[in-house]
Homo-oligomer: A and B are copies of this chain.
Amino acid sequence: MAKYKTDQDDILFTLNDVLNVSRHEKYGFDKNSVKEILIEQDKWVENEVWPTRESSDAEGVKMTEQGVKVPENLHKATRGYYEMGWFALGMPESVGGTPVPEALAGACRALGIAANTAWSMYPGLTKGAFSVIRMVGDDYLKSTCIEKMITGQWGGTMCLTEAGAGSDVGALKSTAKPIEGKKNWYKVTGTKIFISSGESDLYENNIHLVLARTPGAEEGTKGISLFAVPRFKFTEDGSVGESNDVKCTSFEHKMGIHASATCVMNFGDNDNCEGYLVGKEFEGMQNMFIMMNEARLDCGMQGEAQANLAFELTRQYVNERVQFKQEIVHHPDVKKMMLKMRAMSRGMRALILYTADVIDMAHEDSKYENLLGFLTPLCKSFCSEQGFNVSVDAVQAHGGYGYCTEYGVEQFVRDTKIATIYEGTNGIQAIDYLTRKVLKDQGKTLTEVMEMITSDLSKSEAEFATQKTQFERALGAAQKAIGFITEKAQAKNMSMTLQAAKDFLDLSAHLVVAWRLLSAANVAQSQLTSGEGNKEYLESKIVDYKIYCSQYLPQVWAHSKAIIEAEEDFSLLSV
């Protein structure tokens, strides 16, 4: 298999030259510190995480009498991740973290995700649970959990899904009954499925954030509350207490992420499971969304990061493998595939890092919150799906070798696929995007994004005249789709509105990704003109943008047509 390689040039150009993350002054970061941190994390990932990827996939998780055990080689990587301070990167100082610009924190996190996605789930879920406790937990919960979690002694999970409640979280049946005389403590009962990192021997305790219903709660999501349910009971001195009647009864055998334990978790089989209320009663869904929004961005990152790494490995292969007396990269079909893979992979990275930067913008000015909400489902859905597609192309470019386990490429296909499903399927993302992020504010955020695109297009250099035409045609096609959907929504035809959702999300994401590549190409062009920077790299950024415009933007037109020309209300058709 090819050598681990990160396109550091592209990450640093995006962070420093396109986004200029140093402008968030509160962090006191300059371009050099951005570079140093990124390079250091990359080196650590290469040495500590990447070597665990294939063997941990082959080994998988195991059930033992002591519970679920992860592949042995994940222990060292996990310990190192905490000890080196990588887990704490991007977290506030108040909880022992190292604040850095969000986009830098994201870029660093993406490296570990790319190198072993299954492994990254353990600290990833812990980070999500940690954020919820930090933001809405009360003083008791924070004082009990924060230090244990940021140091990696304790892990965390999110427990939403039940057998009859997947996308429909509101249908869940787990219950929580107040314990008399123990304020905020509840007896929790229920069975949760598909719980990533549900149990492992990586942490001495696990804090499960469990959604459950309190007595008399109304039906649906409004009656749901959130509880912190430790695997082992809390003790006053912080040591590991007795069992809290939380048990992983089995785990799933899956297509990929074999090293990530996807558990069936039983809470309170012996009526001895206690959970502590997180935030207010009945605000469980909105509090869980703190974690879910982070997790959705991370899902997009799973697609983006694995795509970028798969591209780098494939780049090496096609430049070495000789057929017909030349390296196969020189065969036009392979060249085109590689150019498209690069444009898509870097385009996704540009979208993800921009979105991470918008988190900082939203902290500084709440007017950006809508933009963040708008971008989140695009990142989650589009990058998970296109990340999968790039992984599939990586296999294809490797030919028969790509299909063999030994080369480690097919693992990207198996590992990326789950990101299109969990944290809300991409179909759910599309509905969220169309109804809550576009229609709910009468297209205000969408219009603002369109205006930013148009503004950057007008700034684009004369050299990009062809691309400007291509982009404007795509924008025109998008406008037609928006017109059609708006008409159906105003006529309250929800079926025809929603059947357009996925195409509309994809169409929007193509525009936003092309826009991010345009921004990058504009910067690259001006650096080339002034003679700054690495010429070869900068030229490749111009190629990325051109390739995206000619090879991917036609999809905007195709999605628009698919929306508009669906003659019928599909709900009237049977399958």
List residues of chain B with CB within 8 A of the CB of A339.
Answer: 570, 573, 575
Pick out which of these stretches binds chain B: A26-34, A141-149, A250-258, A274-282.
A250-258
List residues of chain B with CB within 8 A of the CB of A330.
Answer: 571
Q: Mark A439-472, 1 if CB is under 8 A from B, else 0.
A: 0000000000000000000000000001000100
Number of copies: 2
Give bound CA distance, A256 to B256, whole Å. 12
List residues of chain B with CB within 8 A of the CB of A517.
Answer: none
Contact of A400 (CB < 8 Å), options: B403, B421, B561: B421
List residues of chain B with CB within 8 A of the CB of A315.
Answer: 575
Shortest distance from the beta carbon of A62 to any chain B beta carbon, whole Å: 16
Contact of B333 with A406 in the complex, beta carbons under 8 Å:
no
Determine if A336 is an interface residue (Cβ-Cβ < 8 Å). yes
List residues of chain B with CB within 8 A of the CB of A193.
Answer: 400
Shortest distance from the beta carbon of A530 to any chain B beta carbon, whole Å: 23
Contact of A417 with B399 in the complex, beta carbons under 8 Å:
no
Contact of B430 with A403 in the complex, beta carbons under 8 Å:
no
List residues of chain B with CB within 8 A of the CB of A166.
Answer: 323, 399-400
- A405-B255, A573-B335 in contact; A562/B554 too (CB < 8 A)? yes
Contact of B255 with A171 in the complex, beta carbons under 8 Å:
no
List residues of chain B with CB within 8 A of the CB of A561.
Answer: 550, 554, 557
Contact of A502 with B550 in the complex, beta carbons under 8 Å:
no
Contact of A567 with B466 in the complex, beta carbons under 8 Å:
yes
Give bound CA distance, A318 to B318, whole Å. 41
Determine if A351 is an interface residue (Cβ-Cβ < 8 Å). no
Contact of A403 (CB < 8 Å), options: B324, B399, B418, B574: B418
Determine if A479 is an interface residue (Cβ-Cβ < 8 Å). no
Determine if A118 is an interface residue (Cβ-Cβ < 8 Å). no
Contact of A427 with B334 in the complex, beta carbons under 8 Å:
yes
Q: Mark A317-328, 1 if CB is under 8 A from B, else 0.
A: 010001111000
Determine if A92 is an interface residue (Cβ-Cβ < 8 Å). no
Determine if A296 is an interface residue (Cβ-Cβ < 8 Å). no
Pick out which of these stretches binds chain B: A73-81, A284-292, A493-501.
A493-501
Chain A interface category by residue count: 35 or more
List residues of chain B with CB within 8 A of the CB of A266.
Answer: none
Contact of A404 (CB < 8 Å), options: B254, B336, B540, B575: B254
Shortest distance from the beta carbon of A317 to any chain B beta carbon, whole Å: 12
Contact of A499 with B332 in the complex, beta carbons under 8 Å:
yes
List residues of chain B with CB within 8 A of the CB of A324.
Answer: 167-168, 171
List residues of chain B with CB within 8 A of the CB of A332.
Answer: 494-499, 501, 570-571
Shortest distance from the beta carbon of A413 to any chain B beta carbon, whole Å: 7
Give bound CA distance, A244 to B406, whole Å. 30
Contact of A417 (CB < 8 Å), options: B167, B253, B403, B496: B403
List residues of chain B with CB within 8 A of the CB of A546.
Answer: 567-568
List residues of chain B with CB within 8 A of the CB of A417.
Answer: 392, 395, 403, 410, 413
Contact of A403 with B421 in the complex, beta carbons under 8 Å:
yes
Q: Mark A509-528, 1 if CB is under 8 A from B, else 0.
A: 00000000000000000000
List residues of chain B with CB within 8 A of the CB of A405.
Answer: 252-255
Determine if A342 is an interface residue (Cβ-Cβ < 8 Å). yes
Give bound CA distance, A527 to B498, whole Å. 34
List residues of chain B with CB within 8 A of the CB of A404.
Answer: 252-255
| Inter-chain pairs besides A252-B406, A339-B570, A403-B418, 16 sampled, C-beta below 8 Å | A254-B403, A255-B410, A331-B498, A332-B494, A332-B499, A333-B427, A337-B427, A342-B575, A395-B417, A396-B425, A396-B427, A400-B421, A413-B417, A470-B565, A550-B561, A557-B558
15 examples of A-B residue contacts, CB within 8 angstroms: A165-B323, A167-B323, A171-B323, A252-B403, A255-B404, A255-B413, A332-B495, A332-B497, A396-B427, A414-B414, A540-B575, A546-B567, A546-B568, A550-B567, A554-B565
Interface positions of A (Cβ within 8 A of B)? 161, 164-168, 171, 193-194, 252-256, 315, 318, 322-325, 329-339, 342, 388, 392, 395-396, 399-400, 402-406, 410, 413-414, 417-418, 420-422, 425-427, 430-431, 466, 470, 494-499, 501-502, 536, 540, 543, 546, 549-551, 554-555, 557-559, 561-562, 565-568, 570-571, 573-575
Closest 9 CB pairs of A and B: A554-B558, A332-B499, A554-B561, A255-B410, A332-B498, A168-B323, A333-B427, A550-B565, A253-B405
